[in-house]
């Protein structure tokens, strides 16, 4: 596919044609989750956004090495750089090994990503597996003179760096503003200035996640893993670095400073940031009580949810907004997305049944051009969806005999609709998967309903109700009739 992709580069604050260093080897690094809690809405948006980019780059013929990390050490509670390690804290509270916590939540994250049909990255390195690389990277920054050792910790010298480079370049800040907005030192810390950040932290005696280093036992600062691992897997200069807008400062700013200090230049060429998710117009936060995990969304078990929403409804909802716009979750908006997705899938079903005519009255190339132009324009997925909707209308007109389509055009239309709906937007027909994914589903439902009928006959209403309720929860509606039971997949 011929593509002229233009991406908005957060670093330069303008749209730029995407020109990779080597089309046979496009490097993309995206900051992944810190694995200490259930994956939530905040994880869905960057995952789907960068999945869309990954899928589109591949469809455009690029070979992509997509690296998405797992943070399993060094992400501290306060300002990412102070307080207790988030994973170690969870491990302490639940009396687990920190790696048990990390493993458990990594698995949960993977399950959620699979449900959202997010492709697995090429490499998924974790911070704890790259301590040696991080120590080496810290040494390079020390050798270059942009860091200092203090009481077993190593800190980045922000002021010195700012004299030669601009600290704040990505987030559009200058050092004076940053200093003004930084908490003052309480005298307990080893760093010289409040803006300095840890590259390596000395471990206190009770700190459980620790490794030996030239500076004593400790652990890497959170920002260090991304500089070290992106350099290891993608080289000193690579194409795309992505993440959520909330990571722009301090995380990505610090990453740029670290890489620039060690390598003499910034490593990533295009910085891409997705915007944030709000819930009923409010920022999402545990303290606000509107923190919704993906599992709660999929099951409907949250006081803010009127019911369950399927993973594809969530994915479609995310794609209906441009990734740089804010996205507000509400029951209303999700139900509208659900209807829209259903309309699209029904249209595709109709497309599968269309009969060709000797000649076309429709211009199939129009859809191809519109979809490609929309994706080329900084991944404008809402425009792709609106083009597909227009064509659902046309497909229905063909089905009703108001328009006609030739065999050649029909093949082409099916190929284009499939390419954009399934390969690029990454949608799945959940209902079709439920019905045809396994022939065992109807048999299993019948078996359960048999057991339920026996329970009813024995006046065991608890069991009978439990079976019906559990089936309803997974989307199977049970209808009692005088002469038996009917059921359908909703
Ligand atoms: Zn990162």
Comparing 21 with 432, the larger pLDDT belongs to 21
What is the distance between the alpha carbons of residues 338 and 332, in angstroms, rounded to a whole number? 10
Q: Please compute the mean of the pLDDT values over residues 158-168 and round it to a whole number.
A: 95
In the chain, how many H helices and how many E strands? Answer: 17, 17
Q: If you measure from the C-alpha of residue 241 to the centroid of ligand 1, how many angstroms do you get, rounded to a whole number?
A: 9
- Which pLDDT does position 186 carry in this prediction? 61
Q: If you measure from the C-alpha of residue 38 to the centroid of ligand 1, how many angstroms do you get, rounded to a whole number?
A: 19
Q: List pLDDT tens digits, range 391-445.
A: 999 999 999 999 999 999 999 999 999 999 999 999 999 887 654 445 567 778 8
Q: If you measure from the C-alpha of residue 32 to the centroid of ligand 1, how many angstroms do you get, rounded to a whole number?
A: 7
Q: If you measure from the C-alpha of residue 105 to the centroid of ligand 1, how many angstroms do you get, rounded to a whole number?
A: 18
Q: If you measure from the C-alpha of residue 254 to the centroid of ligand 1, how many angstroms do you get, rounded to a whole number?
A: 9
Q: Cβ contacts of residue 292 below 8 Å, gap of 6+?
A: 40, 41, 279, 284, 302, 304, 305, 329
**Closest C-alpha to 174, from 186, 163, 166:** 166
Whole-number Cα distances in Å, 435 to 307, 332, 351, 386, 417: 22, 27, 19, 27, 22
Q: If you measure from the C-alpha of residue 31 to the centroid of ligand 1, how many angstroms do you get, rounded to a whole number?
A: 4
Q: Cβ contacts of residue 85 below 8 Å, gap of 6+?
A: 73, 74, 75, 76, 77, 98, 207, 209, 219
Q: List pLDDT tens digits, range 32-53.
A: 999 988 999 989 999 999 999 9
- Which pLDDT does position 428 carry in this prediction? 96
Q: List pLDDT tens digits, range 116-145.
A: 999 999 999 999 999 999 999 999 999 999
Comparing 479 with 9, the larger pLDDT belongs to 9
Q: Residue 305: left (phi > 0), alpha (psi -120 to 50), or beta?
A: beta
Instruction: Look up residue 22 and give its two tokens.
Output: 């080597």
Q: If you measure from the C-alpha of residue 223 to the centroid of ligand 1, how many angstroms do you get, rounded to a whole number?
A: 6
What is the distance between the alpha carbons of residues 362 and 201, in angstroms, rounded to a whole number? 65
What is the distance between the alpha carbons of residues 90 and 470, in angstroms, rounded to a whole number? 32
CB 109 within 8 A of CB 97: no
Q: If you measure from the C-alpha of residue 477 to the centroid of ligand 1, how many angstroms do you get, rounded to a whole number?
A: 44
Neighbours of ion ligand 1 (CB under 5 A): 31, 226
- Which pLDDT does position 291 carry in this prediction? 86
Q: If you measure from the C-alpha of residue 333 to the centroid of ligand 1, how many angstroms do you get, rounded to a whole number?
A: 31
CB 29 within 8 A of CB 247: no
Average pLDDT of the chain to the nearest whole number = 92
pTM, to two decimals:
0.87
């Amino acid at each position: 596919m011929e593509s002229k992709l233009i991406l908005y580069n957060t670093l330069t604050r303008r749209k730029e044609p995407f020109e990779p260093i080597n089309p046979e080897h496009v490097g993309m690094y995206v900051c992944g989750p810190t694995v200490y809690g259930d994956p939530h809405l905040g994880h869905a948006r960057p995952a789907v956004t960068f999945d869309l980019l990954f899928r589109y780059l591949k469809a455009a013929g690029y070979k992509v090495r997509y690296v998405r990390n797992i943070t399993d050490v060094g992400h501290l509670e306060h300002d990412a750089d102070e307080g207790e390690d988030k994973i170690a804290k969870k491990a302490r509270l639940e009396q687990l090994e920190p790696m048990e916590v990390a493993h458990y939540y990594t698995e949960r994250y993977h399950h959620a990503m699979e449900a959202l049909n997010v492709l697995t990255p090429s490499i998924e390195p974790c911070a704890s597996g790259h301590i040696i690389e991080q120590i080496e990277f810290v040494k390079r920054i020390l050798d270059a003179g942009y860091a200092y050792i203090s009481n077993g910790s190593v800190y980045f010298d922000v002021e010195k760096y700012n004299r030669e480079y601009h600290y704040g370049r990505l987030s559009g800040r200058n050092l004076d503003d940053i200093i003004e907005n930084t908490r003052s030192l309480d005298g307990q810390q080893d760093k010289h200035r409040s803006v300095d950040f840890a590259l390596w932290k000395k471990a206190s005696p009770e700190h459980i996640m620790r490794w030996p280093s030239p500076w004593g036992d400790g652990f890497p600062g959170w920002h260090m893993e991304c500089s070290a691992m992106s350099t290891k897997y993608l080289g000193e200069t690579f194409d795309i670095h992505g993440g959520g807008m909330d990571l722009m400062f301090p995380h990505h700013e610090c990453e740029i400073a670290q890489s620039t200090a060690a390598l003499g230049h910034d490593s990533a060429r295009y910085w891409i940031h997705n915007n944030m998710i709000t819930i009923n117009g409010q920022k999402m936060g545990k303290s606000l009580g509107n923190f919704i995990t993906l599992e709660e969304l999929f099951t409907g078990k949250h006081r803010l949810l009127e019911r369950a929403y399927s993973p594809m409804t969530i994915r479609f909802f995310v794609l209906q907004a441009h990734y740089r716009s804010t996205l507000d979750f509400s029951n209303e908006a999700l139900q509208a997305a659900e209807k829209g997705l259903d309309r699209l899938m029904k249209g595709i079903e109709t497309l599968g049944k269309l009969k060709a005519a000797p000649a076309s009255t429709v211009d199939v190339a129009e859809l191809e051009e519109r979809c490609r132009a929309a994706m080329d324009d900084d991944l404008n997925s809402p425009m792709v969806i609106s083009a597909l909707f227009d064509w659902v209308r046309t497909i229905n007109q063909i089905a009703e005999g108001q328009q006609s389509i030739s065999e050649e055009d029909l093949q082409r239309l099916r190929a284009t609709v499939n390419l954009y709906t399934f390969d690029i937007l990454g949608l799945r027909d959940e209902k079709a998967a439920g019905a045809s994914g396994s022939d065992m589903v109807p048999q299993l439902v019948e078996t359960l309903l048999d057991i339920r009928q026996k329970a009813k006959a024995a006046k065991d209403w608890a069991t009978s109700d439990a079976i019906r309720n559990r089936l309803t929860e997974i989307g199977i509606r049970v209808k009692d009739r005088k002469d038996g039971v009917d059921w359908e997949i909703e």
